[in-house]
Structure 1
Amino acid sequence: MALPIPEQPEACRRENARRFIVSLLPATACTACLLTGQWGWALGIFWTTFFLIGYGSIVPRVRLFGPHVSQLPAEQAAQGQVWITVDDGPDPTTTPLLLDLLDRYQAKAGFFLIGAKAARHPELVREIAQRGHLIGNHSQTHPAGRFWSLRPARMWQEVAGCQQTLTQILGEKPRWFRPPVGHHNLFLAPPLRALGLTMAIWNCRGFDGVIKDPQLILRLIARSLKPGAIILVHDGPANCVEVLGGTLRLLATRGLQAALPPSLQPASPPPRLEPS
């Protein structure tokens, strides 16, 4: 039986209320300029705000609205380690195949799971954890096209809902969050703080969510692959097994090791991770 989503902590609610008020200031200033006939100022405020919100929300590695991690610590990079992250599972067809591939290469990965899918396949969630992989929060319903525009209440439902789902299945709370499509806005950071989550982005990807050709995907991954990289691949597409297999072979060729970030150890303090 699914547990109800917990209420937002008051501190989180107050912080997002302040952020919402701040978000209204450009519109207020723009309206005031229009009413007083200052069209140039109105256009300037509008386009500046439009650019900042769009850039800060849609470009994954921008930190305008809050902190995130997009590469492993320098100590792990020096050891030739990278972190493979697998988004959008679990999938009953492909997840077992991905797990077998990782076992074959003695590699560990982070699986960022969608809460609604995890609730349908809790046995797969437990299997991922039992095989020694990290499980992260990837929102409850993965509203890819709208996540960047979610308001505080819905943002809390997405993040806290997935956290509740995964905690109920695993018996422990995930510590990492990956926003759908890498999008984020000014209402995301307070829920992450309240739930003890660190946002993980990436700095190496092959666009396997949109590109179908595995060889092109692997060429794109190879182009940005380096020690300390956080690699993004997906669970579910028809080519996902071939893409992960090719990525693991590429790591072996370059002498790199697929490892996990230091926060895997539950007893350790929150890691001090290198900014990108």
Structure 2
Amino acid sequence: MPPSCRRASAVAFVLSLLPATGVIAALILGRPGMAAVIFGTTFTVIGIGAVVPRCRWFGPHVSRLPEGVRGVCLTIDDGPDPRTTPALLDILDAHQAKALFFLIGGKSLSHPELVREIERRGHAVGNHSQTHPAARFWSLRPWQLWREVAGCQESLRSILGGAPLWFRPPVGHHNFFLTPVLRALGLTMMIWNCRGFDGVSSDTRRILEVIGRGLAPGAIVLLHDATPVSAEVLRGTLELIRCQGLAVEPPPAPELKEA
């Protein structure tokens, strides 16, 4: 971890201790009510900031394309997977659509040929952490976040010769230690504003209904690789985009700021 990242993480860590200090001080002063308020407020802020993907309390991110863009951006998480990724690439080719694949570093090292094929077909590749610790990513400490994010960067660099510029946290969770890590690695965080929960559901009809309601000009659509319905959901999403008179935009440049 570079010194600048260590310093920023240290500042974030010290700030994270302030609420605990306030609770202890209130208890020492015999103000249990105040201690409860401080604790409850802190717990709420940390909880919302960590697990609500589009919350900006812990750092900046992109969750939609700029105003005036008439198309949508397709993003596909959790690959590569030899059981599903080839079919997704063929479907995208058939629709002449390009996507941004957020890949897991460990899986990429197991299937480097798929990573190279994604790039060869004109798609972009993003960082989705090295091991995808979905249940605990929000609680990782600075050095643990560094291992996850920098590890994925190095895995993808070893395969492609270059590292991604976009990062997406597992299940969209993040904390105040993540932003210094991303800055040190030159990464921009991308979330989404349209999804059908295809990572946890196999009801394709319901998934597409939810996606259809969220489609709009400028949408960043979240889809998943490596599920039993990945191909069907992608095919249906592309048809919804066509029926709504929208287009699939190429993955945006990392300098893009939230409109």
| 2:44 paired residue number | 51
Counterpart amino acid of residue 133 in structure 2: P
**Structure 1 residues 5-20: aligned runs within 5 Å:** 8-20=1-13
Q: Secondary structure at the match of 1:106?
A: coil
- 2:113 equivalent to 1:123: yes
Deviates more, 1:32-41 or 1:110-119: 32-41
**Can you list the C-alpha shifts for 1:203-236, whole angstroms capped at 9, x where unaligned?**
0000111121000000000011001100001001
Distance 1:173 1:139 in 2: 13
Counterpart amino acid of residue 110 in structure 1: L
Q: Secondary structure at the match of 1:34?
A: helix
1:272 CA drift (Å): 3.5
**Structure 1 residues 25-104: aligned runs within 5 Å:** 25-75=18-68, 77=69, 80-104=70-94
Distance 1:272 1:144 in 2: 26
1:187 to 177, 201, 206: 177
- 2:253 equivalent to 1:239: no
Counterpart amino acid of residue 184 in structure 1: H
Assess if the C-alpha contact under 8 Å between 1:138 and 1:177 holds in 2: yes
Task: Give % identity.
Answer: 61
1:271 CA drift (Å): 2.4
Distance 1:261 1:235 in 2: 17
Deviates more, 1:251-260 or 1:160-169: 251-260
Assess if the C-alpha contact under 8 Å between 1:74 and 1:274 holds in 2: no
Deviates more, 1:122-131 or 1:254-263: 254-263
Consecutive aligned runs of 4 or more in structure 1 exceeding 4 Å deviation? none
Distance 1:14 1:250 in 2: 47
**Structure 1 residues 129-140: aligned runs within 5 Å:** 129-140=119-130
1:271 to 251, 255, 259: 255
Assess if the C-alpha contact under 8 Å between 1:26 and 1:45 holds in 2: yes
Q: Secondary structure at the match of 1:61?
A: coil
Assess if the C-alpha contact under 8 Å between 1:90 and 1:121 holds in 2: yes
Q: Secondary structure at the match of 1:42?
A: helix
Counterpart amino acid of residue 37 in structure 1: G
Q: How many residues align?
A: 259
Deviates more, 1:30-39 or 1:120-129: 30-39
Q: Secondary structure at the match of 1:63?
A: coil
Distance 2:116 2:67 in 1: 31
Distance 2:165 2:258 in 1: 17
1:37 CA drift (Å): 1.4
Any gaps of 5 or more consecutive residues in structure 2? none
1:173 CA drift (Å): 1.4
1:36 CA drift (Å): 2.1
Counterpart amino acid of residue 244 in structure 2: R
- TM normalised by structure 1 equals 0.92
Distance 2:98 2:256 in 1: 21
Assess if the C-alpha contact under 8 Å between 1:72 and 1:261 holds in 2: no
**Can you list the C-alpha shifts for 1:50-80, whole angstroms capped at 9, x where unaligned?**
00000000000000000000001224x2xx2
1:31 CA drift (Å): 1.1
2:192 to 178, 185, 202: 202
Distance 1:65 1:274 in 2: 15
RMSD: 0.9
Distance 1:110 1:195 in 2: 19
| 1:267 paired residue number | none
Distance 1:37 1:126 in 2: 63
**Can you list the C-alpha shifts for 1:93-152, whole angstroms capped at 9, x where unaligned?**
100000000000000000000000001000000000000001000000000000000001
Counterpart amino acid of residue 42 in structure 2: T
2:251 to 248, 257, 261: 261
| 2:241 paired residue number | 251
| 1:157 paired residue number | 147
